[in-house]
Amino acid sequence: MDLSVILDSVISLFIIILVGVYSSKRNIITAKINKGLVDILIKIALPFMILSSFIYTYDDTIKANVTKTFYYSISAYIIMITVSYLLLLPIKDDRKTILHFSNVFVNTGYVGFPILNSVYGPEGVIYGSIFNMFFVILLWTYGLILFKGNFRKEDLKTELKNILLNPSIAAVCLGIIIMVFNIKLPGYLLSSIKSIGNITGPLSMLIIGVILSNVKVKRFLKDWTIYYGITVKLIIIPVIVYLFSLLAGSSSKAINAVIIMSAMPASAMTSILAESFDKEKEYAAVIVSITTLLSLVTVTVLLKVII
């Protein structure tokens, strides 16, 4: 793909982020409204986008790649967890928890899917949705263990229920059924699904803009762990995942989608859980905000290398 196409996609997303910043500064989108927008994004728009991506004409290669993406995604998460754990050994206390969580749990919803859709279209979103399945499963198990320390038996049952009822997981399962059995949906239903799914990109960028507008970065500028953590998150981990793909001799849209997802900025859940458990919540907000902003540069470079 030509670099100008990639830049156009990223710049377009960045402009919408600026609109989000403006909306927040002018108090058009308040914190309460933004929370509602997040709920709409996660519970409605994103699942519809994932579902619409499966309503697509497939060849045997794409179907085979869907299966392979399960293995690619598992491998990527193992690499991210291992590399992050080893590289963060010099950092102690809650900041290590925040950085490790942000390294493993990337922003699939707000940034990952819109970029995959811009680069690869519906096919890329399919592969990304498989990666996102593991994100959801690990988030409500491994991710909570990082913050809580362990699970009580009753907590485990609740979290497993949350996983099974997650709208994105339901969308993937339904999408796979549609793909496998080649189900044809009525035109009006298909149009509605795609229209709702299409708001995912713009809506996610508006939300990021609001988040960025409310973070005070200055007080953390002298903290070396910020710079170290961001370097590990946006450069070292994606490069290592990419190098492993080269060693494996694999090259396809499926594995590229997984590499792209691994290079995404820190998930907003980093900040949400940090606030919930009262662990370095301002530090977490800074990590989410700065990695989101800088990822517009690092992801563009990565796309140029792998595509």
Q: pTM of the prediction? A: 0.80
What whole-number distance in Å separates Cα of residue 116 and Cα of residue 260?
Answer: 8
Please name every residue paired with 266 in a beta bridge, in sequence order, or none if there are none.
106
What whole-number distance in Å separates Cα of residue 17 and Cα of residue 23?
Answer: 10
What whole-number distance in Å separates Cα of residue 17 and Cα of residue 265?
Answer: 14
Spans in the chain with pLDDT lower than 70: 1-7, 9-10, 56-58, 150-156
Q: Which of 249, 188, 245, 275 shows the shortest CA–CA distance to 73?
A: 245
Query: What are the residue ranges spanned by the domains of the chain?
Result: 3-301
What whole-number distance in Å separates Cα of residue 242 and Cα of residue 284?
Answer: 26
Q: Could you tell me which residues come within 8 angstroms of residue 104 by beta carbon, excluding any fewer than 6 positions away?
A: 77, 80, 81, 84, 138, 142, 143
Cα separation of the two ends of the chain: 6
Question: Which residue, chain included where needed, has tokens 């500064």?
Answer: 25
What whole-number distance in Å separates Cα of residue 258 and Cα of residue 306?
Answer: 11
Dihedral angle sign, alpha carbons of residues 64, 163, 35, 80: negative
Q: Are 37 and 207 in contact (CB under 8 A)?
A: yes
Q: Are 204 and 109 in contact (CB under 8 A)?
A: yes
CA 61, distance to chain mean position in Å, is 25
Question: pLDDT value at position 9?
Answer: 65
Looking at the domain covering 3-301, what would its CATH class be?
mainly alpha
Question: pLDDT value at position 231?
Answer: 96
Burial call 17-49: b when 16+ CB within 10 Å, e when fewer: bebbbebbeeeebeeeebeebbebbbebbbbbb
Question: pLDDT value at position 151?
Answer: 62
Question: pLDDT value at position 92?
Answer: 84
